[in-house]
A = this chain, B = another copy of it.
Amino acid sequence: MLHLAGHSTTESVQIADIAEGANVPRKFLEQILVELKRRGLVHSVRGRHGGYLLGREPKAISFAEIIRIIDGPLALSPCASRTAYRRCEDCVDETTCAIRKSLVDVRNSTARILEQHSLADALADRRKIKPGA
């Protein structure tokens, strides 16, 4: 995603280029991109000079969103998740579960941090440190 963010929002980049830049197998990257596409974070251009490009401006794509798609919900337990809530099977009483309270705290702070960081921020950081690259 950082690689794509480094290019314009109008010209597409080919899988092979991204794979080389990110140092991951092409076919493996493909599966991730298909999923990202399904969720609207990237668009694809088919055919001869096809490729991928960001679906929105870099500043409108948060780390939280990407991580949720690739790694699943942020919460440590489904019962503490907001986007993928699921009650624990053997939970006796959720409202008095002292463990869940902490897990919800953790989820909230994690979500806050990851939602504040966008691709644009990451790109700016990188440029700040390595102006030449």
Contacts and interface: CB of A to CB of B under 8 A. Distances in A.
A124 to B, nearest CB: 9
A105 interface: yes
Contacts of A90: 22-24
A79 interface: no
B96 A105 contact: no
A90 B20 CA distance: 11
A34 interface: no
Given A23-B90, A95-B129, A99-B63, A114 B122 contact: no
A98 B110 contact: no
Given A23-B92, A76-B67, A109-B109, A126 B102 contact: no
A125 interface: yes
Contacts of A93: 130
A35 interface: no
Output the residue of A95, A102, A109 with the most chain B CB within 10 A: A102
A71 B75 CA distance: 13
Contact of A122 (B24, B71, B98, B105): B98
Given A67-B76, A106-B109, A106-B113, 7 more contacts: A2-B99, A22-B90, A96-B125, A98-B126, A101-B122, A102-B117, A105-B113
